[in-house]
Structure formats: structure tokens, C-alpha cells
Amino acid sequence: MRTRRSISASSHCVLSCVLAVGVLGGFGTPVAAAVEIPATGTPATGPAIPDRGYEAVDAYLREQMAAIGLPGAAVVVVKDGVQVHSAAFGHADDSGRPMTAQTPVLLASTTKPLTAMAVMQQVEAGRLRLDEPVRTYLPWFTLQDSRSSAITVRQLLHQTSGMASKDTAFEASDAQDPEAIEEGVRALSGSPLAGSPGEGFRYASANFNILGLLVQTVSGQPFGDYMEQHVFAPLAMAHSHTTRAAAQADNAAAGYSLWFGSFWRQTGVPAPTTGMPSSTMYSSAEDIGHELTALLDEGRYRGRAFLRPESVETLLKPEVQIDESKGYAMGWFTRPLVESVGPASGAASPPTADPPTADQALPLLLEHQGEWGNSHTYKAMVPASRLGVALVINANDTSAPSRLKAIDTNVLRILHAQPPVPAVVQEDWLQRSSWLVSLVLLLAELLSLALALAFLLRRSAARRRWVPWAGGAAALALDGFALWLCLVYAPARFDTHLAVIVRQFPDVGVALVPALGLALLWPVPRTVWLVSRMRSATPGSHRSAA
């Protein structure tokens, strides 16, 4: 699909008109009382009352899909325990199958709140205690640091265990067997701690993988089966799944990646069951709406208790401060709802850039985004207004994910009668141009290879004897730079392993792998060959041999 980089003037006009009507109509249109829940499992919905705010959301999403070239998206809004809006756009795969609000999509990190709910169920059952060390339940659990023995269940939920993403990455694995969760946690034994448990926030998906294994251990049930029976079933999440096979059997959307910053391509990237509790569950926009409804209704769904109110309060209470305005609860980022007020001076700045002043009593927003190599998801709640938003996109631009993140916050803005603001690409030059950097690196390595072979295979020696040595030194410098960039700088910059970069950034990997292969395998034989050639060409060397 060809990406459209510009928005036509007519489209701008249409969108502006719709947004203006949405602003005038506002999100405050009263929602009628919920209808009786059908016994067939159909989601609760309010009466089909036209709402200009929702029309504006749909118009904005269509505009962004056309501008960015996104293949498919679905959005669901819940309010006061009722699904008040549902819409889907585009296609789910290359066959042209339409995207729907019931189409499962790989959740990525929006998986974490689901696992947090399962943990709280076990806390309610008395099988887990939040302030108990992990070793109480997994006596063998350890990291390459004696401080790991102090890590508690609560610290895992709050991302304060001390683990770091780059030391615990698993996203390059292809494991699909049920045992992969425990195998992945056991593999952490060789990982260091980046800080002392409880001292500060460090985001690492491994925290939730351990939590999933805890649920599996204390419940005596495989984690995937537990989620299906005790989370998905009570919340009527019929299109939510814990494995790729189950999701595909339910017509899950295929994922798309933006290749070389130019075109979208249906792309498969690893989704290992190792990360099932943190990253690799599947769900639909409609099912996420069910999840949000239960949390906004203090743990009740369709009149039945799912979690106790005090458990929900514990889940959603921000206990860790990340920065001046952002906090973290149990699987949820929290911040003031700045989308409910206009941008400062109309500047095109990130919605969360400026913390509210003391006289701005902004509601609390709980949110989480999911970023994978080929999918983007978002879930948000405003408990004060009992508003929930679920957005799934079966694609991701890994070079500039902030463009899709801007869609998330602008949907919130429109729902709060505010105009959307332009996206600001926040990624640095290396991430934005990573595919180009890897391509240039490959071309440089190929050129170095060609020049070296041209010299080494020629019969006559170079007239200036320093030229081959200088060329050899330059080639070694290029190899050293490639190795440093791939093995040291890039993993540190992206807070992950090189294997994850190669597998989750497919357009980067196609050039980076051969470039790195040349940098690793060619320098030694090239240098030996060069030294041998230069020695044989040295005047007097043959006489000495004779």
C-alpha cells in the first residue's frame, strides 16, 4: 500500500467541519440508561443515538489512516458501564478482509493490565500476598544478583524490581510451547539487576512474565488456561486469546510494518509465548471495552463481581512516581488528563509535555500503549467520568511510533471537545533513519569487500606501498564501527538486545544482518591475505627465501 504523506485541502476542510461540530456538541451528550443484557453474550450497548463527538473521532481516524497509510483500525468507547461507540476501518490482511471491532490484534504491552487482574484474583483467594518475596512461591527464582531474593510481588506489579529491559529481553524468541513462560523466567538467572528492588521505576516486561508464572504456580493451572477461564470468560471476551494459534483460528488481523519509511507490508514478527503474561496476548477493541467496563465499575461486569472494589482500587492507585506528572499503578501509567484542555498557544506539542498548574483540577487518566513490530494498541480510562477508550491498529511504524501515539491522545482530545494537535515525531535520528543507517553500513561493507578483492586478486603490487596498508586499516576501522554500532550502541540506545532489533525492525534486519556478518567474518581472512600478499611483494623477500 502506498503511503500518503500529505493531506488534501478538501480533506482538511471536511475534517475541520466535523471537528467543529464535535466541539460545539461536546462529549457531554447524555447517555441513555443501559439496556438489559441479552443472554446470548452480545455486548451491552446504549441506544443508537447519533453523537457528533463520535463522528468526529471516526472522521479523524479515517483521515489519519489515509495520511499515514495504515491498513486497519478499530475503536470502542465505553461510558457509564455501556458501550456507546464502536467503529472499524480498513482491512485486516492482504486478502482485503474488513477490520471489525471483534477482530483480534496482538496487544503487545496492553497485555499487562490483564495479567495484573489475574494476580489480584489470586491475592483475593489468599494464594498470593503482594509484599511477599517471589521466592516464597518460586524457591528457585534468582537473577545474577543476590538482591533479587528481595523482589516482591508488589514490586513486579509496580515495575520497581530493579530489572531493566535490555538485560531481560525475550522478544526475538519464536517459542510457542506452554512451557516457554517458565523457561523464560528461569533464563533470567543470568541477568543482572540495574538497581535495588523497590528503589525506583524501571520498565521491563520480564516483571509481568514472572507474575504470569506466579499465577500459574499458585493456581495449579497453566497460565493461558487460567486467563481463558477466569478472565476472558467472565468478561465475555470471546475474541481474546493467549496464543497465536488460537488468535489465528479466530481470524486475527495480520500485522503490518512500515518498510524503509515508504510502504506498508504484511509482516510476521515473533510473538513468543515466553511473553504471554506481558506482551503476546490477543484481543479485540470490543473485548478491551469489556475489560475497561469491569474496572470502571469497581470490579463488576454485567451485574456479577469479577474483582472486589478494594482490589480494583489497589490496581489503579498510582504508587510509583515516574516524573513530575506521570505515575505508575499496577500495569497502568497514570497522569493528568491534559487532553481535556486546549493546547498551550495552539502549539503542536505532545499532549503530556506540560504538567497542569495547581489551579487546574484535571481528572486522572490511566492508560497503556502497546508497541510491537507490527501492531499498535491503546487502552485508557478516566475513572472520574467512567469513560474508557480502546484503540487497536494492526500495524506499527517502528522508526517513528510517536506518530501512532499521537492518534491515541488526539482521540481523547476529540472526545473531550478539543481539536486534535499535529503529531510531533519525538524519536531521534538513529531510530527514524535506522533502516537507512543499516543500508549504508551494508553498502560500505560491500564496497570494502570489493576493493579488498580487487587489490588482493591483482597480479601486480601497488606502486605506493602505503596504500594497501591504509586501505586495510580503513577497512578494519569500518568493521570496528559496525560492530560497535550493532553490538554496543544500538542495544543500549533501544534498551534491548541486537536480536530483538533485527526481529522487530524487519527493514533494519534485512541489511543489518549481512553487514554484521561481513564485519565479523571477513576481517581476519582479509588481513591475513593482505599481510601475506605484501610480504611476498616485498623486494628481497624471494632472495631471502632462496
Q: CB 324: neighbour CB atoms within 10 A?
A: 7
Gap between the Cα atoms of 498 and 281, Å rounded: 24
3-state secondary structure of 269: coil
The band of 477, judged by pLDDT with boundaries at 50, 70 and 90, is very high
Q: For residue range 337-393, list pLDDT tens digits in order.
A: 999 997 653 334 444 445 445 445 899 999 999 999 999 999 999 999 999 999 999
Which helix or strand (DSSP H or E) is residue 327 part of?
strand 327-328
Q: Is 343 left (phi over 0), alpha (psi -120 to 50) or beta?
A: beta
User: What one-character-per-residue DSSP string does 142-172 give?
Assistant: -BSBGGGGG-BHHHHHTT-SS--HHHH--TT
Q: For residue range 260-276, list pLDDT tens digits in order.
A: 989 999 999 999 999 99
Q: For residue range 215-236, list pLDDT tens digits in order.
A: 999 999 999 999 999 999 999 9
Paired residues of 378 in beta bridges: 369, 391
Gap between the Cα atoms of 235 and 222, Å rounded: 19
Matching residue, cell 473531550: 416
Q: For residue range 409-427, list pLDDT tens digits in order.
A: 999 999 999 999 999 888 8
124, 307 contact by CB (below 8 A): yes
Gap between the Cα atoms of 220 and 530, Å rounded: 63
Instruction: Note the pLDDT of residue 46.
Output: 41
Dihedral of the alpha carbons of 397, 400, 401, 407, in degrees to the nearest 10: -100
Dihedral of the alpha carbons of 457, 460, 465, 466, in degrees to the nearest 10: -30
208, 331 contact by CB (below 8 A): yes
Q: For residue range 146-203, list pLDDT tens digits in order.
A: 999 999 999 999 999 999 998 998 988 888 998 999 999 999 999 999 999 999 999 9
The band of 546, judged by pLDDT with boundaries at 50, 70 and 90, is very low
3-state secondary structure of 382: strand
In the chain, pLDDT over 90 holds for what percent of residues? Answer: 69
DSSP state of 30: P
Mean pLDDT of 25-30: 33
The band of 28, judged by pLDDT with boundaries at 50, 70 and 90, is very low
The band of 462, judged by pLDDT with boundaries at 50, 70 and 90, is low
Q: Tell whether the model's pLDDT for residue 39 goes beyond 50.
A: no
Helix axis angle, 52-68 to 9-25, nearest 10°: 150
Q: Tell whether the model's pLDDT for residue 501 goes beyond 90.
A: no
Q: Is 87 left (phi over 0), alpha (psi -120 to 50) or beta?
A: beta
179, 99 contact by CB (below 8 A): no
Q: Tell whether the model's pLDDT for residue 114 goes beyond 70.
A: yes
Gap between the Cα atoms of 517 and 521, Å rounded: 6
Give the burial class of 190: count Cβ atoms within 10 A of its Cβ; 0-12 exposed, 13-18 middle, 19 or more buried.
Answer: exposed
